[in-house]
């Protein structure tokens, strides 16, 4: 996968909580990327086997909103995303990204 600022930002947001469920809206806000950028990245991560997805149980929803889709990191994804961050730390293009330096060491 081509390393872009958006990919690195999404990677940082996912690895901020590597064992939890991630909702698209929350990832968009945490990564600082628009949904039109986020969802293609998540789709590629799903295709690579780095994430698995599912749907929120409708019985647990309060109010009249539809179920939300969630994403969880796989072991393969944990290794791949960790590698992306290692590479990003060495790449001058990403030195100014907030949260990259000093995290996930």
What architecture is the 5-93 domain classified under in CATH?
Answer: Orthogonal Bundle (1.10)
Q: Kindly provide the residue ranges of all beta strands, DSSP E only, lying in the chain, ordered along the sequence.
A: 21-23, 51-55, 69-73
The string over 43-70, giving b where at least 16 C-beta atoms fall within 10 Å of a residue's C-beta and e elsewhere, is: eebeeeebbeeeeeeeeeeeeeeeeeeb
Confidence of residue 62 (pLDDT cuts 50, 70, 90): confident
What is the model's pLDDT at position 39? 97
Average pLDDT of every residue of the chain? 90
């Amino acid at each position: 996968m081509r390393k872009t600022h958006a990919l690195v930002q999404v990677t940082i947001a996912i690895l901020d909580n590597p064992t939890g469920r991630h909702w698209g809206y929350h990832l968009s806000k945490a990564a600082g990327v628009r949904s039109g950028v986020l969802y293609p990245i998540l789709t590629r991560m799903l295709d690579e086997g780095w994430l698995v997805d599912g749907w929120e149980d409708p019985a647990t929803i309060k109010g009249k909103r539809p179920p939300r889709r969630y994403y969880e990191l796989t072991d393969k994804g944990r290794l791949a995303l960790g590698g992306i961050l290692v590479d990003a730390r060495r790449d001058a293009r990403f030195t100014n990204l907030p949260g990259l330096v000093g995290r996930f060491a």
